[in-house]
Structure 1
Amino acid sequence: MASLAATASEVDAQPDFELIESETPQSGFTTPKEEEVTTEAQEAEEINTVTPEDTAEDTTEEEEETPLEQDQLEFEISSMPIVHRRTYNEDKEWITNSFTVNDTHMRELLAQALKDYFPDPDQLDVQKWTFEPSFESIVHRWDKLQALHKKIKQTCDDKNRIKAVNGLIDFIEPLVKPFIEARAKIQDSRRVSWSDLWQIFPPGELVVTKMYGVESIFRVVSSRKRTSAKIYQIKVEYVEWNGSACRIKNTKVDIDNYAGSQQVRSLKLVPLSYTENPDEFREAMRARGQRFQELRGYHYLAYDGLKVCMDVPTLEPVSGRVIIDTHAYYKSINQVPGDSGTAVNGSNEEEQTDEQNADATNNASDLDAVSTPRQTTDRKEDLSPLSDEECLMTSPWLIGFDLKAKKWGRFCIDNLSDIEWNDKAFDNLVSRGGEKHLAWDFVESKAHSTQDVDDFVHDKGRGIIILMFGPPGVGKTFTAEAVAERARVPLYTVSAGVLSTKPAELESGLDHALDLCRMWNAMLLLDEADVFLSARSDEGLERNELVSIFLTKLEYYQGILFLTTNRFSSIDYAFQSRVDLFLPYYDLDAASRRQVWQNFFVHFGEDKFKGITEREMDRLCELGLNGREIKNLCKSALLLSEKGRADDKDGRIMAEKLYMLAEKRVDALRLLGHGSDDRMVGRQ
């Protein structure tokens, strides 16, 4: 029990609401001894009716109350409309400790005013309808309380009810008046002291903060002052997509103690009403929330900005194509999409306990059957529309996959955009024997096929495997890229060097890639796959196991797989029998090289290479260069000619530098043993 040495304590309890307060202790009931009155925020409060003078003089021992007397006391207290607990301080002033509301009509009014204020709907019963200074809940809902009071007076015919609510307002108003005036000063000055932070963060208040550097709107759930740690802690909530449904998630923001007052807008958390242009900001966040709704599920998009890494929450720049798909992320790490948090429709679900720091349609394709993501049986997504306020509260980040880095991360909605498809890629692909058209025909036929053609074993042999073999730089990889671009689907590229040569790790890596391609209807390109295609032998048992695992996985893959190799002659026979389409590639001839040169001139800017004559073009085409080398030479020549571009009006400097670089490259390759005499034909 809390000790109140050298103080007096009293209970005010008048049924007549015309006079609630008094400068002297009020008569209501008497007891020879103090009695406990328990509340949630206050373990015990001493109640007696003696005067301050009596307290100073009376030193007699009081007899203990019997259980019957205690029951009688509790009954009398509970029958009083309002129990007002005050103490007499050293300055001989009455200080309110708390008050308890027992009257039914009064409780009804308070319940209406404080509806949805507390996280726990039974909080008023838990705290036994007892309120302590600074009466935060009543101050926050004072305007609503007055409006409800006014409505009752205008519409209610029950005189007892009117009398009760009048008495409640008359009693409360002088208690909360100092806090109401303090709130008005904060609103006028836009400054707040640390001790008054509770004034600007009522439950339900929309606030602005940054999530990984991006401004976002959260909603206040509760707040409290942690005096021991000297921080003011605000619990807030926001809407996040977990791969199957939108959930309301919680986090906490701490504001350290500070002296004096600060501008409200300088705080970590700023009420929306205190921002510079709240209406404009609200509209911008609402629009982003609409975009958030559209991006639930699977989306193949372009991205240019920072991503949040999943393993360690650091920011990294990304520029390229990404796949937004939270469901696939949880599947890839063998976790069920999280159900923590509360459903946005308000149903009671398990609340998140760990504290964290905090349809967009692509361009239409001529092959819709290819570009549409495959809907798997385990993908169950609730795409119900969000309310306007829920749209405001959506997270600015969505989980996605960086196709270039092959890593998961969080991507900012503001930096996502539709893909600008390169329709010229397929046309610019130079192939001597029509390989690109044959590859496209296979892809298109599979997409539009209505026949379920597979092996005698269910789900076996239903994919398409295209093996491209030949020397480097002749268009093998570019063929897969151009076909995927034309089909409007992701191309998941994996280099064999990235996959492990340990059997267990190889199997896990292949499963990861194949599962993602299945979920996204993506094409898989396994580049430089020589190590997994080589013929098995009696000596290399571990390599034999790698080949066996690889063959087994591919047999049950139902998508489109491109494989490239430079060593066709060493491919295992068992694998050759599983290939649906062989595409041989050869060294470029002069006509093919001319086309490749011209394509890259157009790509990098035709006017920059205007100084190259037909004779010089013939000489370039006679050099035995492949497509990759030609691209690198164009890039290098552009860099070297940058300095003298202003003086190179006719493009001669560019032409000379380009041919010089080409000759140097051919010379170097010949000396390294990677070239042949036919690469030097252009020098004669």
Structure 2
Amino acid sequence: MASSTNSTPADDQTEPPSIGIKRVETAQDSKAQRLLRVDQISIRKDSIGSMLAATEVDIKSVLLKEVLLEIFDGVEGLSLNKTPPMCSPEILFHAKDALTSRKADEKEKDDPNQILINDIGTALRFINEDFGPQIQSLDSLLNNGEITFDLLWALMKPKDFVVSMQFRLTGQSQALSVVSGTYLRRQNSTNYFKLNGRMISHDGEDFGYGFVDTEIDEFDGARKITSLTAYPIQYDPNPDILRFLSRLRGRVMADPEAWKFNNGWTDLASPIIQREHSITGKDLDLRDDHLLICANWINGFSLTHKSWGQFSVDGLEDIVWNEDAFKKLVIDETRRKLIHALVRAHRQDDASFDDIIENKGKGLVGLLSGSPGVGKTLTAEAVAEVTSRPLYQVSTGELGIDADKVDKRLGMILEITRRWGCVLLIDEADVFLATRGIDLARDTLVSIFLRRLEYFRGVLILTTNRKSEIDSAFQSRIHFSIHYPDLTESGRVIVWTNFIDTVSKQTGTPSLDSADIEKLARLELNGRQIKNAVSCAVSLAREEKEPLSVNHIEMILSITNL
């Protein structure tokens, strides 16, 4: 960096002299030192050979120091309150526009402070002299929307807002407030610019400032600003800068506090909220700029993928519950009403009836048995829809067979489903329901499940294909049990009609006539097979750019093993 010389000041040549600032350049274990005075600016160079290790500007003017503190209010790492007040030349450079504006405002006052005007003028002359070549290069580059690697520091001003495209949590863009920027070198000798940014975040306990680093690798020549992994927000071509770049389909439970149940999740990590930066419990006057840097994600759980993660707030919306789902079940009307009434009436904290032991017996457990594809899983899904509850579906295969792991995972699942008021569906739960005998490993799993079930306070629905093999201890814990017979022809008519009518509404195409549906219903297929046949037929019709017809369905049935 060029040091100040005896060049003519760029402006304010007629203003009286003022003791304003001096520049101090230092290096550890310095071998040489020289002091040069130019008007009001003193420059001391400490060097090792030709290399300067650090540069600071000594702010002598108390008035100038106060203005700089006002400009950089909230910026960390400044030494303006030390004795003597210090700042880096780069920080002073970043204050150029604000100082120019402050000087103009002071001149417009009825009783301007001439000393302040002079001191700001001294600082501006220092900036123009010391950064003259960089200012010219920067102006030329910015006019073309470009920047060079060596001028990244000038582009990223403290407190300015930037768009970070390297946000590791979700891979989406995130607005940050610039804290600092540093040129660094990796162990493999590659250079990069590390931008430290601040955002308002929440870790489930504290609400405060989180800090995120964005790295910009060294590049040759000039590059478009918007091609960088981080750039000032004013250069973003998209007015909706916080748009979620990739939406996750499926239902999500947004619950930052329940992040403690995140067992072993290491792929994504929240920005660090240091205790001294916590703003929980404080009265906040959130301005638009605060809202801009709020984390555009929230900790939550994907019920579809059964995994924890950070989800874009922009990608979340209220669930539209399917209130007609229960009507489409092929089930006896009396049993339909019974299930509906039991689940709707159940409340987690309902203390109207309890076990002799406190907190025991407050759960609602249902058992659905029958052959595959007769509507057991669909019943659980419908129950969740009509009662506006999330559905947490898990199979015994996902729980595993190791007793300790099953106990731990089952405990976590039961707790979060209780917390969220979920309908918990355990599909093919035969291993937990089987009569205990001489198989010690299986008996252990049954015992674990029974113990966990004692204190469960939510809604649990289990499905099984073998009702006759249920352990007697479990039978006493069942509140309702329904056996589903194989679908009759009339039942298959209802199932075919439901699936085909759904497709018709989604595509805006006519449904099949009753004769075609009755023809299909003569085939002895279960509900899952019918669903798969319709799904494949829809894909075939879409490929042929035709509305769904019975011919598409018959073609699928003829070439598959449904």
Shared fold per TM-score greater than 0.5: yes
Shift of the 41–332 alpha-carbon distance from structure 1 to 2, 3 Å rule, reads same
Corresponding residue for 1:321? 251
Shift of the 443–113 alpha-carbon distance from structure 1 to 2, 3 Å rule, reads closer
Corresponding residue for 1:653? 551
CA deviation after TM superposition for structure 1 residue 83, in Å: 6.2
CA deviation after TM superposition for structure 1 residue 421, in Å: 2.5
Corresponding residue for 2:444? 545
Corresponding residue for 1:209? 164
Match of 2:353 among 447, 450, 453: 453
Corresponding residue for 1:442? 342
Say which is worse superposed, 571-580 or 598-607, in terms of deviation.
598-607
**2-side partners of 1:510 and 1:349: how far apart?**
34
Corresponding residue for 2:98? 144
Shift of the 471–41 alpha-carbon distance from structure 1 to 2, 3 Å rule, reads same
Match of 1:393 among 277, 289, 293: 293
Corresponding residue for 1:671? none
CA deviation after TM superposition for structure 1 residue 472, in Å: 2.5
Match of 1:128 among 42, 62, 84: 84
CA deviation after TM superposition for structure 1 residue 175, in Å: 4.9
Greater Cα radius of gyration, structure 1 or 2: 1
- The count of residues paired between Structure 1 and Structure 2 equals 525
For normalisation by structure 2, the TM-score amounts to 0.79
Which one-letter code corresponds to 2:118 in the other structure? N
Match of 2:306 among 402, 406, 430: 406
Shift of the 546–382 alpha-carbon distance from structure 1 to 2, 3 Å rule, reads farther
CA deviation after TM superposition for structure 1 residue 638, in Å: 5.0
Does structure 1 conserve the Cα–Cα contact (< 8 Å) formed by 2:33 and 2:45?
Answer: no
**1-side partners of 2:72 and 2:215: how far apart?**
25
CA deviation after TM superposition for structure 1 residue 249, in Å: 1.9
**1-side partners of 2:46 and 2:309: how far apart?**
61
Shift of the 587–388 alpha-carbon distance from structure 1 to 2, 3 Å rule, reads same
Corresponding residue for 1:610? 512
**Per-residue Cα deviation, 1:118-149 (whole angstroms, up to 9, x for no partner):** 4135x1245833466xx222221123324444
Corresponding residue for 2:230? 269
**2-side partners of 1:108 and 1:641: how far apart?**
73
Which one-letter code corresponds to 1:128 in the other structure? P
**Per-residue Cα deviation, 1:621-668 (whole angstroms, up to 9, x for no partner):** 45543322333343455566777786x99x573576478679x76xxx
**2-side partners of 1:139 and 1:202: how far apart?**
9
Shift of the 128–421 alpha-carbon distance from structure 1 to 2, 3 Å rule, reads same
**Per-residue Cα deviation, 1:521-579 (whole angstroms, up to 9, x for no partner):** 10111111111111112x21222211111111011000111111121111111111111
Corresponding residue for 2:52? none
**Per-residue Cα deviation, 1:318-364 (whole angstroms, up to 9, x for no partner):** 432222222223333399x9793258xxx6459xxxxxxxxxxxxxx
**1-side partners of 2:184 and 2:110: how far apart?**
43
Corresponding residue for 1:191? 146
Gaps in structure 1 of 5+ consecutive residues: 1-8, 11-16, 22-36, 50-76, 90-96, 289-303, 308-317, 351-379, 666-684
1:364-375 equivalences in 2 (<5 Å): none
Say which is worse superposed, 321-330 or 168-177, in terms of deviation.
168-177
Q: Determine if the alignment matches structure 1 residue 173 to structure 2 residue 173.
A: no
**1-side partners of 2:395 and 2:282: how far apart?**
36
Does structure 2 conserve the Cα–Cα contact (< 8 Å) formed by 1:105 and 1:165?
Answer: no
1:247-286 equivalences in 2 (<5 Å): 247-276=208-237, 280-281=239-240, 285=242
Shift of the 638–106 alpha-carbon distance from structure 1 to 2, 3 Å rule, reads closer
Shift of the 124–655 alpha-carbon distance from structure 1 to 2, 3 Å rule, reads closer
Shift of the 444–484 alpha-carbon distance from structure 1 to 2, 3 Å rule, reads same
Which one-letter code corresponds to 1:402 in the other structure? S
Shift of the 457–613 alpha-carbon distance from structure 1 to 2, 3 Å rule, reads same
Does structure 1 conserve the Cα–Cα contact (< 8 Å) formed by 2:363 and 2:455?
Answer: yes
Which one-letter code corresponds to 1:439 in the other structure? I
Which one-letter code corresponds to 2:327 in the other structure? D
Give the secondary-structure state (helix, strand or coil) at the position aligned to 1:411: strand
Does structure 1 conserve the Cα–Cα contact (< 8 Å) formed by 2:164 and 2:229?
Answer: yes
CA deviation after TM superposition for structure 1 residue 112, in Å: 3.9
Shift of the 547–171 alpha-carbon distance from structure 1 to 2, 3 Å rule, reads closer
Does structure 2 conserve the Cα–Cα contact (< 8 Å) formed by 1:101 and 1:130?
Answer: yes
RMSD: 4.2
Q: Determine if the alignment matches structure 1 residue 340 to structure 2 residue 272.
A: yes
Which one-letter code corresponds to 1:653 in the other structure? N
For normalisation by structure 1, the TM-score amounts to 0.66
Which one-letter code corresponds to 1:208 in the other structure? V
Q: Determine if the alignment matches structure 1 residue 102 to structure 2 residue 95.
A: no
Match of 2:260 among 317, 324, 330: 330
Shift of the 276–88 alpha-carbon distance from structure 1 to 2, 3 Å rule, reads same
Which one-letter code corresponds to 2:85 in the other structure? W
CA deviation after TM superposition for structure 1 residue 151, in Å: 5.1
Gaps in structure 2 of 5+ consecutive residues: 7-14, 48-54
Shift of the 41–246 alpha-carbon distance from structure 1 to 2, 3 Å rule, reads farther
Which one-letter code corresponds to 1:329 in the other structure? W
**Per-residue Cα deviation, 1:39-64 (whole angstroms, up to 9, x for no partner):** 77777673569xxxxxxxxxxxxxxx
Which one-letter code corresponds to 1:415 in the other structure? G
Give the secondary-structure state (helix, strand or coil) at the position aligned to 1:613: helix
Identity, in percent, stands at 28
Give the secondary-structure state (helix, strand or coil) at the position aligned to 2:461: strand
Which one-letter code corresponds to 1:573 in the other structure? S
**1-side partners of 2:246 and 2:125: how far apart?**
52
Shift of the 392–103 alpha-carbon distance from structure 1 to 2, 3 Å rule, reads closer
1:617-656 equivalences in 2 (<5 Å): 617=518, 620-638=520-538, 653-654=551-552
Does structure 2 conserve the Cα–Cα contact (< 8 Å) formed by 1:425 and 1:482?
Answer: yes
1:458-473 equivalences in 2 (<5 Å): 458-473=358-373
1:25-104 equivalences in 2 (<5 Å): 46=33, 84-85=42-43, 100-104=58-62
Give the secondary-structure state (helix, strand or coil) at the position aligned to 1:204: coil
Corresponding residue for 1:565? 464
Give the secondary-structure state (helix, strand or coil) at the position aligned to 1:124: coil
Shift of the 305–260 alpha-carbon distance from structure 1 to 2, 3 Å rule, reads closer
Q: Determine if the alignment matches structure 1 residue 527 to structure 2 residue 453.
A: no
CA deviation after TM superposition for structure 1 residue 247, in Å: 3.0
**2-side partners of 1:47 and 1:547: how far apart?**
83
Say which is worse superposed, 38-47 or 500-509, in terms of deviation.
38-47
Does structure 2 conserve the Cα–Cα contact (< 8 Å) formed by 1:473 and 1:628?
Answer: yes
CA deviation after TM superposition for structure 1 residue 99, in Å: 5.7
